[in-house]
A and B are shown apart, each in its own frame.
Chain A
Amino acid sequence: MTAAAPAGRRPKHVTWGRVGVYAFLICSAAFFLLPLWIMLLTSVKTMDEIRLGNILALPTDPTFQPWIAAWSQACTGLACDGIQVGFWNSVRILIPSVILSILVGALNGYALCFWRVRGADLLFAILLIGAFIPYQVFLYPLVRLFSVLGIYNSLAGIVVVHIIFGMPIMTLLFRNFYSSLPRELFNAARIDGGGFFTIFTRVMLPMSTPMLIVATILQVTGIWNDFILGLTFAGRENLPMTVQLNNIVNSAQGERAYNVDMAATMLTALVPLVVYFVSGRWFVRGIAAGAVKG
């Protein structure tokens, strides 16, 4: 008996379509990476070298002096403490805002999903509409409200603002996640005698790890990158890093130190970048978990 060769042509692995796809992907990657590359290059050049105007050239004499200057010496107005002040302000805003907004969102999602609140669907719809109204609309009323409550221009004020503006998306995220869990699990916990908060903390939250990670990524990057809310509500003492960066870059005294500006920008962008690099895998997994497990 002879071994019969498979009929038809052997499938090719390199096709024109595939070459096209790779070419497109490489071009897009270059397009998005180029600004980052230029910033990195510029931030390690001396001002003399920058003045030559050759923005793509590699630095002949790489120096980290601009980074040090950006961190601890750059001036905003009269103060010359660098961007580190903003960094620590941002951290102080970030930590309570992220934790509280996620907790509030998870609690909302849990209550809406499992406790058959009367009018739950309507409440949820209203909350979602809130997510679609541009938040500039809320700024002035909130400023008035906060100054009446005495938390305008304070750390508490900016944290509350972040909780409020994070609520719709966090609630949506957790409600949909909890809807994908079997209701019987909740029923079992009720028969076992769990109350509203016990079921939430002992049964639901421990199961929410993927969503907690997704929510953390969304909130850390969102709150870190926020500009207008920080500028409006945080008060002079607590201005976040983004506002501080703007003040450094736009301070109109003397020569414009491009290398320091670039270094300050990189420093500001560092937190979201680290979050993406560390948790990118989790981010994808978290989004897929809801879809696959059903």
Chain B
Amino acid sequence: MSAVSVREVTVAFESVRVFDGLSIDVEQGEFLVLLGPSGCGKSTLLNAIAGLLEIETGQIWIGERNVSWEEPKDRGIAMVFQSYALYPRMNVRGNLSFGLKMAKTPKAEIERRVAHAAAILQIEHLLDRRPDQLSGGQRQRVAIGRALVRDAAVFLFDEPLSNLDAQLRNELRVEIKRLHQRLGSTTMIYVTHDQIEALTLADRIAVMKDQLIQQLGTPAEIYHRPVNLFVAGFVGSPRMNFIEGRLEQAGNGLAFAVGDRRLPLDGYEFGVRPEAGRPATLGVRPEHLAANGIGNWPGFTAEIVEPTGADNLVLCTDGALSLEVRMPGERTITPGTPIALGVDAHRVSLFATGSGERL
């Protein structure tokens, strides 16, 4: 049985219908990330699960209950928002206990739960402060604490880290992951447009675009075997290199051809083996273009070098093709250095030109 089950849901959103019967199942204790660019429907889906948006058709199940028509407070969920949404006129203690007071929880129980949540998030010393006396990171901790005291089976996160600076984002990301491991059986659904957050936090990622789930899979599947050009381009930084070319017959197998260059595809797992001669797009991640001087694609030169500390990102060109390559940071490369690239057919992705689907 799944913890959250979205079945054939359509949402009427200000007279526009979104989701044409969208379905997704989340297992108990799973960390699911909804990843996509703005406007892809990820927040709409989350709000529909929370009950903040009415669904037009379909059903939403949480645990063993059909909650499609239930009020948000009755769904057994807790939610953390991008703008923290702390009640500005209450102190931290008031913010944490508001929901429990609404639910008429006994006073001792409220105190116990607030103390417990504050201890987990290390905000005990802030309990008597007001939100405007807190820093951004502290506010988001309080917002997470407010979700924590509800003792909910499902946590919903709506871009909780987007308003924080890079350093704090990393810290709180770890914190959220720790929280998930610590709570064990709590299901978490997390909306973000940040692929690093998605890859680091998720058990499974649902990549969304245009109100549709493009791919649902583990971070490794999403990263290494993207189902289409959109997923391949959206996940991964720096972006995957795309090379337009053709498939050619080469002996018993196929080879990818672009200009005079060939890449034998013997090691590539085709979904359905395509016929030779069709145009295709080759996708190679920057770290999979080994530049050790013994590559099968010689004749490139370094054009631009971007050191990032651990790695150097080198834009290599041979006049026709420009490819981004990730090289170890200790190797110094100056623009103009000749480079031979090694492409491994095991690690590339091939997409049909036109439809963009994986071959």
Contact = CB atoms under 8 A, between A and B. Distances in A.
B222 to A, nearest CB: 28
A191 interface: yes
A192 interface: yes
Contacts, number: 58
Contacts of A288: none
A55 to B, nearest CB: 53
B61 interface: no
A191 B72 contact: yes
B102 A207 contact: no
Interface string B59-81: 00000000000011100011101
Contacts of B102: 192-194, 198
Interface of B: 47, 50, 52, 71-73, 77-79, 81-83, 85-89, 98-99, 102-103, 146, 150, 158
A116 B158 CA distance: 21
Given A184-B81, A188-B79, A190-B52, A206 B89 contact: yes
B78 A191 contact: yes
Contacts of A207: 88-89
14 contacts: A184-B85, A185-B87, A187-B47, A188-B79, A188-B86, A188-B146, A191-B50, A191-B52, A191-B77, A192-B98, A193-B99, A194-B73, A198-B102, A202-B87
A200 to B, nearest CB: 13
A236 to B, nearest CB: 45
B27 to A, nearest CB: 23
A99 interface: no
Contacts of A193: 73, 99, 102-103
A194 B74 CA distance: 11
Contacts of B85: 182, 184-185, 187-188
Contacts of A192: 73, 98-99, 102, 146, 150
Interface string A206-235: 110000000000000000000000000000
Contacts of B103: 193
Contacts of B52: 187, 190-191
Contacts of A198: 102
The number of chain A residues touching the other chain, given as a range, is 10 to 19
Contacts of A273: none
A192 B150 CA distance: 8
Contacts of B79: 187-188, 191
Contacts of B146: 188, 192
B121 to A, nearest CB: 17
Nearest to A192: B99
A202 B98 contact: yes
Nearest to A209: B89
B12 to A, nearest CB: 11
Nearest to A185: B85
Lowest 8 CB-CB distances: which A-B pairs, in order?
A192-B99, A193-B73, A193-B102, A206-B89, A184-B85, A188-B85, A184-B81, A185-B85
B72 A190 contact: yes
Contacts of A182: 83, 85
Max chain B Cβ within 10 angstroms of own Cβ: one of A187, A194, A207: A187
A192 B102 CA distance: 7
Contacts of B158: 184
Contacts of A206: 89
Given A193-B73, A193-B102, A184 B87 contact: no
A38 interface: no
A114 to B, nearest CB: 11
B53 to A, nearest CB: 10
Given A190-B52, A191-B77, A184 B98 contact: no
A203 interface: yes
B78 A184 contact: no
A203 B85 CA distance: 11
Contacts of A187: 47, 50, 52, 72, 79, 81, 85
Contacts of B98: 189, 192, 194, 202
B294 to A, nearest CB: 55
B80 to A, nearest CB: 9
Interface in A105-163: none
A201 to B, nearest CB: 11
A191 B81 CA distance: 11
A191 B82 contact: no
A184 B83 contact: yes
Given A185-B85, A194-B102, A203-B89, 9 more contacts: A184-B82, A187-B81, A188-B79, A190-B73, A193-B102, A193-B103, A202-B98, A206-B89, A207-B88
A198 B99 CA distance: 11
A203 to B, nearest CB: 6
B124 to A, nearest CB: 21
Contacts of B86: 188
Contacts of B150: 192
Contacts of A202: 87, 98
Nearest to B80: A188
A189 B79 CA distance: 10
Contacts of B47: 187
B99 A191 contact: yes
B46 to A, nearest CB: 11
B1 to A, nearest CB: 24
A257 B42 CA distance: 76
A198 B102 CA distance: 9
A198 B103 CA distance: 12
Interface in A5-21: none
Contacts of B88: 207
Max chain B Cβ within 10 angstroms of own Cβ: one of A194, A198, A207: A194
